[in-house]
């Protein structure tokens, strides 16, 4: 298991899976979405988005028609890939329009497809457990709503007998760090003390969502690695806060290997 910095993206390899985390570099979109924006809902030309998604999918040796993505809504619903043919359902295909499926996690056992989430500050998380893989888009609302636990429950069923013998491996990708995630007291009150960081002189608390996700994953027995990058601080990344809400989305893609 290992994380590697490939300059304009990161890769994660684990027993049975590989994932990539793109940055804003290497795409075709103009400012302020420059340049590898994969989001369809941020005002970009869909042709640019498709070109950027093609570039991202190729990092895992795939075409975007073999990548599944959903419309992320900061909830805890999990989309499970039940397809039995070579084709992905049209409503989740990454080369189609905006998905009609609302969810914040995806699970598949198929080797010929990848799962994708779009990210600007929320956490991308990939998990492999035996023959099953998952991709999660985890902001604080989804964490609190139990998206990690819901995904692990679907993964456990999808993995079948492998659950008895295989250790789940996970990676948490680039996300807004506790260094920058200032929140209101109302949000902080939803999380336990170790996740809420108070700094001398700062009137408001900060939230360590990475620590919260790590705790939840480790509670389920996951071995966890990190791309320990703050999206607001690293100029290679899109950041919802850093771009004043006007920037694009980078991607995490995961597939079986």
* Per-residue binder mask for Zn ion (CB under 5 A), 16-55, x = binder: ----------------------------------------
| Beta-carbon contacts of residue 27 (< 8 Å; ≥ 6 apart) | 34, 35, 36, 37, 48, 51, 52, 55
The first and second tokens of residue 30, run together, are 């103009």
Taking the C-alpha atoms of residue 132 and residue 148, their distance in angstroms, rounded to an integer, is 15
Reference 56, options 29, 91, 83, 81; nearest CA is 29
Under the criterion CB under 5 A, does residue 230 sit at the interface with Zn ion?
Answer: yes
Taking the C-alpha atoms of residue 187 and residue 244, their distance in angstroms, rounded to an integer, is 20
Min dist CB 210 to Zn ion, Å, is 11
Min dist CB 59 to Zn ion, Å, is 25
Binding-site size, Zn ion (CB under 5 A): 6
Nearer to Zn ion, 158 or 181 (CB): 181
Nearer to Zn ion, 127 or 188 (CB): 188
Nearer to Zn ion, 179 or 189 (CB): 179
On whether the CB atoms of residues 138 and 181 are closer than 8 A, the answer is no
Min dist CB 239 to Zn ion, Å, is 9
Under the criterion CB under 5 A, does residue 234 sit at the interface with Zn ion?
Answer: no
Reference 68, options 77, 79, 59; nearest CA is 79
Reference 106, options 137, 146, 144, 143; nearest CA is 137
Min dist CB 202 to Zn ion, Å, is 13
Min dist CB 121 to Zn ion, Å, is 10
Exposure string over 130-163, b if 16+ CB within 10 A, otherwise e: bbbbbbbbbbbbbbebebbebbbebbbebbeebb
* Per-residue binder mask for Zn ion (CB under 5 A), 178-207, x = binder: -xx---------------------------
Q: Quick one: which of 77, 95, 233, 234 contacts Zn ion (CB under 5 A)?
A: 233
* Dihedral sign of CA atoms 143, 125, 68, 89 in order: negative
Which range touches Zn ion (CB under 5 A), out of 2-10, 25-33, 108-116, 230-238?
A: 230-238
Cα angle value 104/118/206 (rounded, 5°): 80
Nearer to Zn ion, 119 or 158 (CB): 119
Min dist CB 183 to Zn ion, Å, is 13
Min dist CB 174 to Zn ion, Å, is 11
The first and second tokens of residue 210, run together, are 């990475």
Q: Quick one: which of 177, 205, 247, 248 contacts Zn ion (CB under 5 A)?
A: 177
Residues forming the site for Zn ion (CB under 5 A) = 177, 179-180, 230, 232-233
């Amino acid at each position: 298991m290992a994380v590697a910095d490939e300059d304009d993206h990161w890769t994660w390899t684990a027993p049975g899976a590989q994932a990539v985390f793109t940055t804003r570099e290497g795409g075709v979109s103009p400012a302020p979405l420059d340049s590898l924006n994969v989001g369809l809902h941020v005002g970009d030309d869909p042709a640019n988005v498709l070109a950027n998604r093609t570039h991202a999918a190729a990092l895992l040796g795939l075409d975007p028609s073999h990548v599944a993505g959903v419309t992320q809504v900061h909830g805890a619903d999990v989309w499970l890939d039940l397809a039995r043919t070579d084709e992905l359902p049209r409503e989740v295909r990454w080369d189609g329009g905006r998905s009609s499926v609302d969810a914040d996690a995806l699970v598949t056992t198929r080797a010929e497809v990848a799962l994708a989430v779009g990210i600007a500050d929320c956490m991308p998380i990939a998990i492999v457990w035996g023959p099953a893989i998952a991709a999660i888009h985890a902001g604080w609302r989804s964490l609190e709503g139990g998206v990690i636990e819901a995904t692990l429950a679907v993964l456990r069923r999808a993995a079948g007998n492998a659950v008895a013998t295989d250790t789940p491996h996970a990676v948490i990708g680039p996300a807004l760090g506790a260094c920058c995630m200032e929140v209101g007291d109302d949000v902080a009150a939803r999380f336990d003390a170790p996740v809420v960081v108070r700094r001398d002189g700062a009137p408001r608390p900060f939230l360590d969502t990475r620590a919260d996700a790590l705790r939840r994953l480790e509670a389920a027995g996951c071995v966890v690695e990190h791309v320990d990058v703050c999206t607001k601080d690293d100029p290679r990344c899109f950041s919802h806060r850093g771009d004043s809400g006007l920037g694009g989305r980078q991607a995490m893609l995961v597939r079986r290997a």
